[in-house]
Homo-oligomer: A and B are copies of this chain.
Amino acid sequence: MQSNGVEGNLLRGTLDFLLLASLEHGPLYGLRIIQDVQNRTGGHFNFKEGTLYPALHRLEKRGLIHAEIRPSDVGGPPRKYYHLTDTGLTELERQRDAQRAHAQALRPYLEFA
């Protein structure tokens, strides 16, 4: 029942970018990615597992990221560390350009008023 209204749709087309960008500086596993995004956006984006994992699977299926299972080093179930592939890095740059262009195009609507 999507309580968000606007924010849910704003995440669309941005989520993949956020995930790819999170892996830019080294592999991370699922729940850490959520934390990473939360940290870097000052808590603005706080999606749940049901949003994250399907997205990760999509990216993996597209060959943009690749998973490697490692046992947890603090106890608990094993973790799937995702890292960017070469194609993934290219796609990340492409999406960053798209995001910049989008922000740029939107600027006239955001200044003043």
Contact = CB atoms under 8 A, between A and B. Distances in A.
B98 A10 contact: yes
Contact of A18 (B13, B40, B99, B109): B109
B10 A6 contact: no
Number of copies: 2
Contacts of A104: 44
A96 interface: yes
Given A9-B14, A10-B98, A99-B106, 17 more contacts: A6-B94, A7-B98, A8-B13, A9-B12, A10-B12, A10-B14, A10-B102, A40-B109, A41-B105, A42-B105, A44-B104, A44-B105, A45-B105, A96-B110, A99-B109, A99-B110, A103-B103
Q: Which 4 A-B pairs have the closest CB atoms?
A: A9-B13, A44-B105, A41-B105, A10-B13
